[in-house]
Amino acid sequence: MSGSFAIPFDKVKKWEWENYWLIYSLFAYIVVPLFICFFFVPDFLRVLGEMPKDKVILVFLLGVIYGAANLTFGLSLRYLGIALGYALSLGLMMAIGTLTPPLIDGRLAKLFEGNGGIMLLAGIVVSLVGIGISGFAGFLKSKQASSKEGINREFNISKGLLAALFVGITGSSAALGIEQGKAIADTCLHFGVNPLFQDSVVFFVLYSGSFVTTLIWCIYLSIKNKTYINFARKSGNSLGINYLCCAFAGFLWYINYVFFGMGKSQMGEFSFVAWGILMTLTIVFATLWGLYRGEWKGATSNIRRLMFAGLIILVFASFLIGISSSI
């Protein structure tokens, strides 16, 4: 679902980026998380009141930073292209987001007391190799399909790498926020919440912060570009379909975290490895959607083999990362 959420945007008509991204974010960061909390967390409002305020503030602020990463992600795609931008940005998020939380709280050192630490690092290295191969295949594809100038006119490797680096560093704040929210999750367990959904409130607090960043920027762009009128401008059935598609995209994006939280809750003390699995397989399924939509049509057989090799390596890496927590 993490690699699929953007597909409904294809059906959005006559809206600019700031229009559909704001409505999508409203559902992804606020509406669906709230619904999940009220559904799976008994006495949700009471639970909120009992949570450690310092942790709530910390997780919220990390969410604000993550919101900035999501906004900058578009720049990495603009300057590097879809394949290379996706691979580099999420690859950095995977590596930094997997290693930083346990490095801060000491669990990484504990993991190295056995063979799990070596397996985790091996999985991350292998995934970076797979990401590099996938990104290179995407770069070759875009170069082949472009004009005689070789690459699109906005391609800028230095700006693209800076944007991807920013996304990788700030985007990993989501992984850190989820791990720093353990005290919030423990409060949920104290109130009898099913362990499978113990992170539901953590996600709500984290992504509420992300919505604040998104709201400010999208409103600014709407005023600057005078696109705020699109929220109410009717053109046949497109207005209702636009809202519906953006809401569905938000639903898909957040539901991936519901399942992520369920899996993470079953992974014990070293559950931080779940982030690496999520980021790695997101790249895999985003690439598969690209295949389905014909984005690789016209690519040479050598480029397609390179792309498939990258996917196979990424899937293998996700298993290495996953089993590292149980060795």
How many percent of the chain have pLDDT more than 70? 91
- Contacting residues for 9 by C-beta, under 8 A, at least 6 apart: 20, 24, 245, 246, 249
Which residue bears the tokens 């999501």? Answer: 70
What's the CA gap between 112 and 103, in Å, rounded?
11
Q: What is the pLDDT of residues 191-215, one digit of tens each?
A: 999 999 999 999 999 999 999 999 9
Q: Name the packing angle between helices 301-323 and 273-292 (round to 10°).
A: 160
Q: Are 305 and 136 in contact (CB under 8 A)?
A: no
**Ranges of each domain in the chain:** 7-326
DSSP tally for the chain: helices H, then strands E: 14, 0
pLDDT band at 151 (very low <50, low <70, confident <90, very high): very low
Residue 243 exposure: Cα atoms within 13 Å on the Cβ side: 9
Q: Are 321 and 97 in contact (CB under 8 A)?
A: no
Task: Tell me 51's DSSP state.
Answer: S
Candidates 67, 250, 74; CA nearest to 170 is 67
What's the CA gap between 284 and 10, in Å, rounded?
20
Q: What is the pLDDT of residues 63-90, one digit of tens each?
A: 999 999 988 887 777 677 666 677 778 8
What is the overall mean pLDDT for the chain? 84
Which residue bears the tokens 């099913």? Answer: 194
Secondary structure element (H or E) that encloses residue 6, with its range = none
Instruction: Say what the pTM is.
Output: 0.84
Both structure tokens of 227: 């696109």
Candidates 62, 110, 104, 109; CA nearest to 207 is 62
